[in-house]
Structure 1
Amino acid sequence: MIPNAQRPMLHFLLILTVASTVGLQGWSILFNNFAVEVVGLDGAEVGLIQSIREIPGFLALLVVFVLLLVREHRLAAFSILCLGLGVALTGFFPTLGGLILTTLIMSFGFHYFETTNNSLTLQYFTTTTAPLVYGRLRSIAALASIGTAGLIWILGGLLDFRWMYLLLGALVMILACWALCLKPSRPDLPLQNQRMVLRRRYFLYYFLTFMSGARRQIFIAFSLFLLVKVFDYSVRDMTILFIINNLINFLFNPLIGRAIVHFGERRILSVEYCGIICVFLTYAFTTSPLLAGAMYIVDFVLFNFAVAVNTYFQKVADPADIAPSMAVGFTINHIAAVVLPVVGGALWMLDYRIPFIFGAVLGAMNLIAVQFIKTEKIEGAGT
């Protein structure tokens, strides 16, 4: 049960989460077809744009300095406005340069919102309610993903790419403007440090955040490619998987939040990493398309367990360190976004099993690391 004092921020974050999901999912669903059919890009140019899309994730630490100029909840809403603007403009610049520009605008909005979203969740909700809020936000995001896909399916028969991007972007911007009119902040919370924070006692959080980014890249870059390249999944097959995944996320994310509260971060993350080891090894050695698809669904569910890394940090951090640490953590999380796809792609060319075996090794390292999680509050601000 969320206390009444926390509900304004919950409603604020729910609105922006829906807007963020509509913008990112809409952009992603249309991107490949738009890039090939309208802009005429080849594989190398599409890969370039996907790499450029990750640059704002590296620059998330700049949020600390932006917060010197604007309050954090305002920055969250402005970030969604930026995301919507990037999506809305995409169809009007059908060139490589234009697509790079609109992608950067969209991506800065998305990544800065994700940074402030995590920060506000950990600041405004207690250690017993934050996991529940994460579960609710991810549940509504899954439902919004399904709704966005359905909307694009309907619009696809009526509008061209330019107007679909414009309509989706305009919807996102309307929700952002609505959020800008809200006043969800509270004056009784600790002031956040307005400088970059790096502390030795947060090392475990930094390590788990980096490893979570590495795991995410293997999931994004190679799991879907495995299903299509090795097991010959069709577009229809992938669409069914997309719907199943998001329905499961809608139903189970609130349960994941409750499980974190009940069992604690160490046990939940241990389950995640044990599951990752099994999933990645199955990817590597199965010859069954159905089993590989089932593992993708399990992989998708386990991906949501990673919120326990943030709730662990909430329990051990100084309250004033949350905003700058979320910005630094988001940058650390994205280091793997540049390295792993390139290295993993080279390893794939030797044997497609190697990236997944490597992922299982990363899972084992994480499993060992999370055994050092202590969730009692650490007092003092030592460095």
Structure 2
Amino acid sequence: MKNNLLTRIKNDFQEGTRFKWFLLSILITGLSYGLYKGMLDNFLAEIVGMGEMDRGVTEFFRELPGVMLVLILAAFYMLSAETMYKVGAVIMLVGMGMHAFLPPSKVLITLAICTYSLGEHIQLGMKSTLSLKYARPGHGGSVLGTQSAVNQIGTLAGYLVIVLVFSIFVQNAPYRTFFWVATGLAAISAVFAMGITGRSVTDSTKRRFYFHKKYNKYYMLEMFYGARKQVFFTFGPYVLILFYGANASTISLLFAVSAVTCFFASPIVGRIIDKLGYKVVMVADTLILVIVCFFYGFAHHVFPKNIAFIVCCVNYILDSVISLASMASNVYVQDLADNPEEVKATISTGVSINHVITIFIALCGGWIWKTLGIELLFILSAILGLCNSAYAATIKKGEGKHV
């Protein structure tokens, strides 16, 4: 079975391409990221001493490269996708190394996070381009799936390592040691990246904004989705750490369970979108979201603290699953578009709009939590979700083919 799987993967790629180097780079990057992400929030809270507002400011700078990505890719349009992928790998290595050797001050660690994020976003912009370039004709979807699976396997392995090690070293959590380990892995990934050859042209749809009147509702949906997503992505784990005292092992385990759950739930959500239509899914997911937000913000008022913590963990995973419903908006774009290039350009623009909103939500969310409490923060998330559904409900039959 293993040989059949490897043979199938090999047959999806064109001969003569360095796809093995590419996949190894993605696998090691995923492992490095899993270690990094699994302990970052606890490191910021326990070692750097970041509070609610500080976390929002840090997230603002982490998301900033995502906003600037279109401009960055446009400025370096003359470089091939392979070269940009390598540049991203080197910048990620530098950023991870900064976490390992810089003093744990708020300013320096925020700079390290921003640097790593810049490399990460550059690579994200190139992964799909290179995957499709290396794929045999008619095998693009399979190659994209393989690339995603390899990345998820690496990331999940990183999470599980943090769960194991930080369960053993509870008192003296080895943050610095594992930042060095993650840096070493980032260096290995960069070496594999350097082995990639070719002169693939970067995807022009990622180098420009594309606005058209028929996509106005999609742009608004991306704004609402980006805002509500950011509340859980940034502050969900931090609530568990600051309010409930969750350690790095627990947070990393939560990330691992969430990743596995989404891995199995993703195709199910996709089939639901195909069967019921994207409009129904866009509207319905908010009904679950309101319940999730209520329990995340008010569980400690309803249950004893230890039970409330479990309720919040379950709701964090549930939010990750319902966030998969964002695929529905991509199907909506596909229904409206006249050609595949228009789909890619529109979705790329939507991602940029999403990032613009998230950086401001990060700042506002930190301030709201600090001054008004976590209850209001998650009420805001529920309201944003309701706005998303209300706007989705305005999609009329005939706007797309599968409403």
Please, what TM-score do these two structures have when normalized by structure 1? 0.75
Shift of 1:78: 4.1
Aligned to 1:181: 197
C-alpha distance in 1, partners of 2:32/2:258?
Answer: 19
The answer to whether the 8 Å contact 2:12/2:142 transfers is: no
Aligned to 2:69: 60
* Cα distance change on mapping 1:172 and 1:353 into 2, 3 Å: same
Shift of 1:212: 1.8
The answer to whether the 8 Å contact 1:57/1:331 transfers is: yes
Give the alignment partner of residue 366 of structure 2, picking from 325, 335, 345.
Answer: 345
Could you list the per-position Cα deviations for residues 62-94 of structure 1 after superposition, in whole angstroms to 9, with x for gaps in the alignment?
Answer: 155146313446534543443244324542344
* Cα distance change on mapping 1:26 and 1:4 into 2, 3 Å: closer
**Residues 1:199 and 2:212 are matched in the alignment:** yes
Please list every run of 5 or more consecutive structure 1 residues that lacks an aligned counterpart in the other structure: 378-383
Aligned partner of 1:181: which letter? T
Aligned to 2:254: 241
* Cα distance change on mapping 1:157 and 1:57 into 2, 3 Å: closer
The answer to whether the 8 Å contact 2:25/2:193 transfers is: yes
Aligned partner of 2:30: which letter? T
Could you list the per-position Cα deviations for residues 111-152 of structure 1 after superposition, in whole angstroms to 9, with x for gaps in the alignment?
Answer: 233344567889999xxx999887776655443322012345
Aligned partner of 2:100: which letter? G
C-alpha distance in 1, partners of 2:289/2:132?
Answer: 26
Q: Percent identity?
A: 21
Q: How does 1:104-115 map to 2 (within 5 A)?
A: 104-115=114-125
The answer to whether the 8 Å contact 2:209/2:349 transfers is: yes
SS of the equivalent of 1:376 reads: coil
The answer to whether the 8 Å contact 1:218/1:340 transfers is: yes
Shift of 1:159: 8.2
| Number of equivalences | 368
The answer to whether the 8 Å contact 1:277/1:360 transfers is: yes
The answer to whether the 8 Å contact 1:18/1:140 transfers is: yes
Aligned to 1:381: none
Shift of 1:219: 0.6
Could you list the per-position Cα deviations for residues 1-60 of structure 1 after superposition, in whole angstroms to 9, with x for gaps in the alignment?
Answer: x99997569x7886665455334333333445666787x665476654443222101212
* Cα distance change on mapping 1:50 and 1:218 into 2, 3 Å: closer
C-alpha distance in 2, partners of 1:193/1:167?
Answer: 30
Q: How does 1:305-344 map to 2 (within 5 A)?
A: 305-317=325-337, 318-322=339-343, 324-344=345-365
Aligned partner of 2:120: which letter? F
C-alpha distance in 2, partners of 1:16/1:375?
Answer: 39
Aligned to 1:171: 188
Give the alignment partner of residue 368 of structure 1, picking from 375, 390, 401.
Answer: 390
* Cα distance change on mapping 1:133 and 1:331 into 2, 3 Å: same
Q: How does 1:36-115 map to 2 (within 5 A)?
A: 43=51, 48-66=57-75, 68-72=77-81, 75-76=84-85, 78-94=87-103, 96=105, 99-115=109-125
**Residues 1:25 and 2:25 are matched in the alignment:** no
Aligned partner of 2:340: which letter? P
Aligned to 2:313: 293
Aligned to 1:380: none
C-alpha distance in 1, partners of 2:220/2:9?
Answer: 33
C-alpha distance in 1, partners of 2:328/2:72?
Answer: 22
The answer to whether the 8 Å contact 2:222/2:354 transfers is: yes
**Residues 1:145 and 2:150 are matched in the alignment:** no
Aligned to 1:355: 377
Please list every run of 5 or more consecutive structure 2 residues that lacks an aligned counterpart in the other structure: 1-7, 167-172
Aligned partner of 2:66: which letter? G
* Cα distance change on mapping 1:49 and 1:277 into 2, 3 Å: closer
C-alpha distance in 1, partners of 2:329/2:147?
Answer: 16
C-alpha distance in 2, partners of 1:205/1:211?
Answer: 10
C-alpha distance in 1, partners of 2:50/2:42?
Answer: 12
C-alpha distance in 2, partners of 1:46/1:145?
Answer: 23
Aligned partner of 1:370: which letter? A
C-alpha distance in 2, partners of 1:132/1:30?
Answer: 32
Shift of 1:311: 3.7
Shift of 1:214: 0.6
C-alpha distance in 1, partners of 2:377/2:266?
Answer: 28
